[in-house]
Structures are given as C-alpha cells and as structure tokens.
Amino acid sequence: MTGKVAQITIEVNDPISTHMARDAPLAPTGTTVIEVRLASNPEELLAGDRVRLVSAVGCEGEECTLTDDALVMGAHISDSEDYGYGSASSNGNVLSQGVQTVSFAMDPQAAARVMALQEAGAIMAVMR
C-alpha cells in the first residue's frame, strides 16, 4: 500500500486490508505547512483529517477561530522539553515530556495568525 497512511496500529506481520489505510495527504496548492503545539489531544488526529483551529486568546479575550480548514499532515512527538506540556495520568504523574506537535496545511494568512497566537496561549483543534 504505497502512498497510504495507516488509520489503525498495524503490527509486524499483520495482514493489511484496504480499510486500514487511506491516501497520504498532500498540501493543497496555495497552502503552507506549519507545526502547531495543541492544547487538545493530538493523538486523536489522523493524517488527512480536516479541523478548525481555535485560540483561547487573541480576540479581545474571547475564543476565536484561526482557520476553519486546517488539513492534518501528521503528528510528531519530539524529545525536547522546551515547551514541556507533558501529559498527565489520572494520578497526576507526567507520562511524557516531549513536545507534541501536529503539521497542518492551511492558507498563509491563517498560518500567520496561528504562529502569532500559539506563543500567547492555547490552540485547540476542533473536529469538523
């Protein structure tokens, strides 16, 4: 299945059927791809999903939509602790300290808004 992205966990030697993968997303013409740190859980997003990106700050203290159409290109967890949000278990222990980012394709104006506001506060991905 060349050029496909797994939609579920596929272990070594598992048989692969067509419902287990979909076409890898390509950034549409006129868009740019940027990395975004999300306050929402990036593990719920799959490459090819389209989401709305919302900022908790930046619109006179009100929630504001940064873009209605961001295409998920992929999720990444780095070893860096620079922004170290980490994720906590139910007992409060930190499970990971790596930075979780998601690559999104979006129009350049939306990308500029996201880059400006992600340093100011939380950005969430909302499923469409």
From start to end of the chain, where are the E strands? 4-6, 21-23, 32-37, 50-59, 62-77, 87-88, 94-96, 100-106, 123-127
| Residue 46 exposed, middle or buried by CB count within 10 Å (0-12, 13-18, 19+) | middle
Q: Where are the domains of the chain?
A: 27-127
pLDDT of residue 101: 87
pLDDT of residue 121: 84
pLDDT of residue 86: 43
Q: What is the pLDDT along the chain (128 residues), one digit of tens a residue?
A: 566 666 667 788 887 776 666 666 788 999 999 999 998 888 788 888 999 999 988 676 566 899 999 999 987 765 554 444 444 444 444 444 556 789 999 999 999 999 998 888 889 999 87
* Rounded Cα gap, residues 78 and 71, in angstroms: 21
